[in-house]
A and B are shown apart, each in its own frame.
Chain A
Amino acid sequence: MEQHEKIISLIFRAIDEVNEFLPPESRLEKTSETVLSDKFAQGALDSLGMVNFIIALEQLIDQEMGVSLSLADDLIISEQHNPFQTVGILADNISVLFKNNKMVH
């Protein structure tokens, strides 16, 4: 499995974990377009949901890929750029982190 696909599959597993906390009508779908974090979009995770999601994803990446990340630190949110906006955007940003080797082994 290519690295990008692997990252997507781990994001989906993190979504499974976070969905356990959510009422059925708010559960996230496992697609690249799924919005994770967007203050203007409906259905995105709230701040506690994002904490749970980020920590679940970090643990999965550590466990499955042997890489220790600190996503909240490594991916900077700015006015123009939200690296956590959708599943696809997040996977792209994590792939870039891997490519630039900007993570702690």
Chain B
Amino acid sequence: MKKHRCLLISDFNVENLASYLNHGKTEPVIEATATPYGQTVPSLMGKNDQDFDFLVVWTQPQSISASFGQALNFERISHDQILKEVDEYCSLLIQRARQESHMLIPSWVMPTCFRGYGQLDMREGLGLANVLSKMNIRLAENLNEQKNIFILNAQKWVESSGQKVFNPKMWYMAKIAFGNEIFRHAAGDIRNFCQAVNGQYKKLVIVDLDDTLWGGILGDEGIKNIRLGGHDPIGEAFVDFQKALRALTNKGILLGIASKNDEALALEAINQHPEMVLKQKNFAGWRINWKDKAQNIVDLVSELNLGLQSVVFIDDQPIERAHVKETLPEVYVPEWPHDKMLYASTLLGLSCFDMPFISQEDLNRSAMYASEQKRKDLKSSFGSYDDWLKTLDIKVQVERMDSGNIQRIVQLLNKTNQMNLTTRRLSEEEFREWAEIENHWVWAIRVSDKFGDSGLTGIISLDVGGNKGRVIDFVLSCRVMGRKIEETMAHVLYYYARELNLNEIYAEFVPTERNKPCFDFLQSSGFSHDQATRQFRWNLEKKYSLPPSIELERPALCYES
């Protein structure tokens, strides 16, 4: 199990936060070390010589801006001066971020007991709440271009911590700036970050229907009598819950259904009920039948080419939740309120959908799965697989790595498990450094067909030594697997290796629990296989053909001078 090594830098005592992180009962495993408090600047100017995976830099606003400290004493201080000090602090953070994979910066908050200027506290040029908001905005603006710095919203922790957010005794007795409740929330968000940055955020919500998506039992009460919308608080609550689910699809989260119901009747309700917010097209897939729900979830997840660890299951029935939780421990089954009016707020409060980056592909994911459904419909009408592929008009576009696509490349590298030769995980900075080494080559693969654009879904990379090229990355999103894109990537490797005057390319397969599809492809690819070394080889005197169903567009090996 991967251990995430974390360095905590702060101007106050954060040992309690370190303890929450180190002794958490749930994954991921974090090993947190706190620097001595009050040493923020020297610590930031130091070097990451212990190879920490990420840094948390948590300061109080008065410690990074002496002028803000004076403003706290009601001295009249120019807000511009305070913002200038924020800029200086940001320069330090940016400088340090160059040697880090990731940095987390909690936003600045003020003790809730501090009233500042009371009703004038938001007044421009005077209020402390006013200037603190500006400081946080300035922090966000200054760090916006730093893709490895994430600002965590500490105000949310304050709001969630109730009365236990500040305790002066903690400060006087141990120089701890906050009550432990706030550290508990902070630790939760830091854990989420570790999961999310490794692509372990949830990508699919599977919901039940009766008393989950609408009120009542459809089979007993009929479409007209289910509780949904209308002048009914429960009906309105179900509409809001559906809206909250639909909102998730705008973030790239997929929706599915697992329900014990009559499929024809349920789909009729979904498509015909006038108050249904979610329509059939909003669901990437469904299993509506009388079979075991856990089995239905496994089938649905497999159909969508996802892993069970990507799934959240929502059901009003405690017994169904308990069954899925026990049978499929990888699936996240949140405790669900009995009160229907709490459904939407419970969903909106789940942190499992937090993601460190949102790419265009994420935003289009729901539409892509809808296209996939159409492809499957078409496939079933053709006898031969190759005939079907030809009708798809598949276009593969090869790109060199550049500043415009590196973020997506790294995201794909870090979250792809199945078609992944080595499953190496690197930060954007680490990958860029690797790619910049002489004789290292990286190409990205974009795939589209007549049903839609799947976006950047593949990566191939080569390390050239002498007259041989070693394939380091052979990564393809499961969304486009099985459409001869794998063979196309092998052809692209062949093509560029020839351009580089190589004699041979080879790939060393690194097995994981989940990358057997990659092994299976390599075995069937025509590459010669040495079982002892797990190496697959291709002699470049022999042509590796482009599949006939693919239209390929590739750039020249090097930029034209």
Contacts and interface: CB of A to CB of B under 8 A. Distances in A.
A21 B174 contact: no
A61 interface: no
Interface in A1-49: 17, 20-24, 47-48
Interface residues of B, number: 15
A20 B20 contact: yes
Contacts of B16: 21, 48, 52
Nearest to A27: B23
B170 A48 contact: no
B180 interface: yes
B173 A72 contact: yes
Contact of A51 (B20, B22, B23, B173): B173
Given A17-B180, A55-B169, A59-B164, A22 B19 contact: yes
Contact of A48 (B15, B23, B169): B15
Interface residues of A, number: 16
Q: Looking at A20, A59, A72, which has the most chain B CB atoms within 10 Å of its CB?
A: A20
Nearest to B187: A20
Given A17-B180, A52-B180, A23 B170 contact: no
B35 to A, nearest CB: 16
A23 B173 contact: no
B172 to A, nearest CB: 10
Nearest to B179: A55
A23 B19 CA distance: 8
Nearest to A58: B169
A47 B176 CA distance: 13
Interface in B4-35: 13, 15-16, 19-20, 22-23
Interface in B265-284: none
Contacts of B170: 51, 55
A58 B169 CA distance: 11
B167 interface: yes
A97 to B, nearest CB: 17
A24 B170 CA distance: 24
A48 B174 contact: yes
B19 A21 contact: yes
B19 to A, nearest CB: 4
Contacts of A72: 173
B164 to A, nearest CB: 7
Contacts of B13: 48
Contacts of A21: 16, 19-20, 23
Q: Looking at B20, B164, B174, which has the most chain A CB atoms within 10 Å of its CB?
A: B174
A20 B23 contact: yes
Contacts of B164: 59
A52 B15 CA distance: 11
A19 to B, nearest CB: 9
A20 to B, nearest CB: 7
B167 A55 contact: yes
Contacts of A20: 19-20, 23
A23 B23 contact: yes
Given A20-B20, A21-B23, A59-B164, A51 B180 contact: no
Contact of B23 (A22, A52, A56): A22
19 contacts: A17-B180, A20-B19, A20-B20, A21-B16, A21-B19, A22-B19, A22-B23, A23-B23, A48-B13, A51-B170, A51-B176, A52-B180, A54-B173, A55-B167, A55-B169, A55-B170, A55-B173, A59-B164, A59-B167
Interface of B: 13, 15-16, 19-20, 22-23, 164, 167, 169-170, 173-174, 176, 180
Chain A to chain B: the 5 pairs with minimum beta-carbon distance, closest first? A21-B19, A51-B174, A51-B173, A55-B169, A48-B15
